[in-house]
Structure 1
Amino acid sequence: MQLWHALAKTLSEKTAWALAMDRGVDMVAINAGLLLAAPGLGLTAAHPYLKGAPDMYDGGVLATVDVGFLADAHVAAYESPTAYGRYLCFSNAVCRPEDAVKLAQMLSPAAPRSPPPSDELKVIPQRIQGKKLNKLMLEFASGVYGELD
């Protein structure tokens, strides 16, 4: 299930980019991390979408995004005439064991409340960046694009 979901998303985005280029349409894509909402709203550690989480953590690309931050990113991209291309949207990169434990607790209240013993701890270098989106959102928030109509 996880594999097909990821493949469908990738193929859909590639198709959208190809159509936009063929038709001369300026396209902007916001690729969000794992969307987190209020606790208890459906996503649990058993969800098929999370099967790849350990590999993403080991690769330094496990990222989450708060629903409010994602909404703000969409507004900034829509309202900013300089928005272009792909934007990675996340508000937290999970790179430390403490962060992984916190995420696990959010997804499953029965998860352990403390990191594994220190001999098993490993901090993963973050390999994902959102500089492009952060710059766009800063420019939008500072009013560089003028007042909204």
Structure 2
Amino acid sequence: MIDPAVNGTLNVLRTCAKVSSVKRVIVTSSTAATLSINPNDVVDETVFTDLSVYLAMKAWYGYSKTLAEETAWRFAKEKGIDLVVMNPGNVIGPVLQPTLNYSVEVIVDLINGKNPSNSFYYRFMDVRDVSLAHIKAFEVPSASGRYILADPDVTMKDIQKLLHELFPDLCRVDKDNENEVGEMAYKVCVDKLKSLGIEFTPIKESLKDTVVSLKERCLLI
């Protein structure tokens, strides 16, 4: 997981560095690279996850995303590349692919009464907003640095409660069940993202569209 993330990113950046017509490169990273384990922190674009945290957890996805982004920033600085990085949380909304990806599988797990591992770190954003943010990063001349793409007001508990409200017949665990997911109290600042003109799709709409899409593709099991 680590080698493809790091070397894949470097391969693209090396090619971009050879082509004078490439004026800006957008890298899709993850909020996994902006994690704080201190519940009193306010997470913004200045926060990089301490790699030792992921090593201790053996959380190789988060480790790979953080290391790949750090590597991209070093290379971009060396080569003078105009780099902008998007750091999305769990991306939900209408599904395009015929199989489950990790982010949407979290929703399926919740419907099936399972608590995804490390779920108290999760933040969410609609795929349509994530797509628009990438476009804005290309088109807005002043776009620069990193952007956290996550609804700052929505936690894992909010997602769970909304799923029960929207689809009570699908959810297999009562909302008052003792296995209710936990949540961390750290805050997320998205002021920089809003400066690109991004308005968040209501989370209730995102969840509804996610589950309807999953049902249409027979991905709810």
In structure 2, what is the equivalent of residue 29 of structure 1?
A: 85
> Any gaps of 5 or more consecutive residues in structure 2?
2-57, 110-115, 199-221
Scaled by the length of structure 2, what TM-score is found? 0.47
Q: Work out the CA distance in 1 between the residues paired with 2:176 and 2:148.
A: 28
Q: 1:123-138 maps to which residues of 2 (within 5 A)?
A: 125=185, 127-137=187-197
Question: 1:44: how far off?
Answer: 2.3
Report deviation, 1:52.
Answer: 1.5
Contact 1:17 1:27 in 2 (8 A): yes
Query: C-alpha separation between the residues in 2 aligned to 1:23 and 1:92?
Result: 34
Q: How does 1:93-112 map to 2 (within 5 A)?
A: 93-95=153-155, 97-102=157-162, 109-112=170-173
Aligned length in residues: 125
Q: Deviations over 1:103-139 (max 9, x none)?
A: 6888xx444352458xx9x98645112110111126x
Q: What letter is aligned with 2:86?
A: I
AA partner of residue 118 (structure 2): G
C-alpha RMSD over aligned residues:
3.3
Question: Which of 110, 116, 119 is the equivalent residue of 1:53?
Answer: 119
**Structure 1 residue 7, shift from structure 2 partner:** 0.6
How far apart in 2 are the matches of 1:115 and 1:134?
A: 35
The aligned amino acid for 1:94 is: V
Structure 2 residue aligned with 1:17, among 61, 64, 73?
Answer: 73
Matches within 5 A, 1:108-123: 109-115=170-176
1:77-110 CA deviation, whole Å, 9 max, x = no partner?
110110110000124643374433336888xx44
How far residue 67 of structure 1 moved from its aligned partner, in angstroms, is 0.7
- Deviations 1:19-66, CA, capped at 9 Å, x for gaps: 0001111210000010113379623245xxx42213x1xxxxx31111
- Asked whether the 8 Å contact 2:152–2:187 carries over to 1, the reply is no
Unaligned runs of 5+ in 1: 57-61, 139-149
Letter paired with 1:112: V
Could you tell me how far apart the structure 2 residues matched to 1:116 and 1:98 are?
15
Give me the whole-angstrom Cα distance separating, in 1, the residues matched to 2:94 and 2:157.
22
SS at match of 1:87: strand
Judged with a 3 Å threshold, the aligned counterparts in structure 2 of structure 1 residues 93 and 75 are, in CA distance, closer, same or farther, namely same
Whether the 8 Å contact between 2:156 and 2:183 is mirrored in structure 1 is yes
Alignment partners' CA distance in 2, 1:123 and 1:11: 25
Instruction: Quote the Cα distance in structure 1 between the aligned partners of 2:172 and 2:136.
Output: 36
